[in-house]
Structure 1
């Protein structure tokens, strides 16, 4: 604070008389042209250097330590409803302050997504096993999803889902899978030609219908009621259905007509007429042909 007596007529003359030089951004109250009168108080606000970052620009300016809101007004910066400033608008600025204005825009965005059609398989007895055919082509559906999107300085910073709806329902694709056995031929022992639908590598054992192989309650008949004799095979019905006709490598033709507590999965038990024949056969892995009906 400087007190002085002067004969100056205007504020500008008082400042000159006091040796005060004004710089860019300084402000005087009252203004320089104001006429001096007894008891007048003159306030000199020295400007501060500021950096205002807005709209991709850096504005270097010098202003008196006014409020942030006033700085923006003087710089010609208009704030929109959602814009954000790095300091509250009522804050007074200071030397070297960096003021950042972030442009914030809100948008409701609708995005469409393709819904891939589901696939349904049906069996087709008129189509060879292992083959497929398209019964009906599927059609994709359409999902419409609505988002609330926030942009800061033109860049997306947040996306929130508001809701969604299916505007077009997808249509299932239907594919037929063949179940008809594919019949093949093979030449086996003694030049016989067989027609078969499948061949399996199985672990084979042997038994005879007597009590030595089947226990004291053996009655000489199979699970299906057939007489147990050469050409009868015990199988796991989950692997080979009962009643299936077979050709067993090293044994000959057989029918799956029996089961056994130990005959599970990929095992087969072949019937012989005598215990000696069964013992001589032993245990071995061999090919079992599932014959065509």
Structure 2
């Protein structure tokens, strides 16, 4: 009976998964506001960024402006009805199994059941006599030394992934040594879209261009090890919000709010990049 229930439950869940995979998507019209980007819209409306960009394949991600007509992909509610139906089937199977179990227990031979109950007290003293020495022998050398030995490496590992930024401890996933260059808001360094990042936001201190294959866009970073008086001394918190044709692999391009001439003095430097948790 239990195998039958498991089989039905598995079949119902597989059916539910298949329905949701086949569930159609429709788009809801939306009028863009000033400052909107695909990234902010996906986050605000809880929409997958790739689905949003597919639904607006003819829209340039760097040219979203107020009044622009967009499409927001939405899931239909067909899957909800199927989910409810499968839930009812599963609940019905559970009720049937519970009823069958009750009947089986009720039909048990009463004399045999009474004999088992009568025999149980006689077996208990023997069980206790055997169990107590074993429990005491195994319990005394127990786990305190092991717990202390295991706890020390864990604490040491945790400290390795913590850095102090402006007096505050912050955790990071990994540290990477990278080559860094700098760019400014000058038109010659930003192409036809002007001084904006990949998401269409104005460039500002803390914006960093990355290779998305090495560091995903939107990742928080802590960058240190550079020598440039126009950046915070000792390091600063940044965010991967831009890309560049020459930025590949372990390279980053740091936006600096200075003139093109001063920005060019940054050159190419070796920096330490902490990818934050």
Compute the TM-score of the two structures, normalised by the length of structure 1: 0.35
Give the structure with the higher percent helix: 2
Question: Which structure carries more strand by proportion?
Answer: 1
Return the index of the structure with the highest Cα Rg.
Answer: 1
Q: TM-score, normalised by structure 2?
A: 0.37
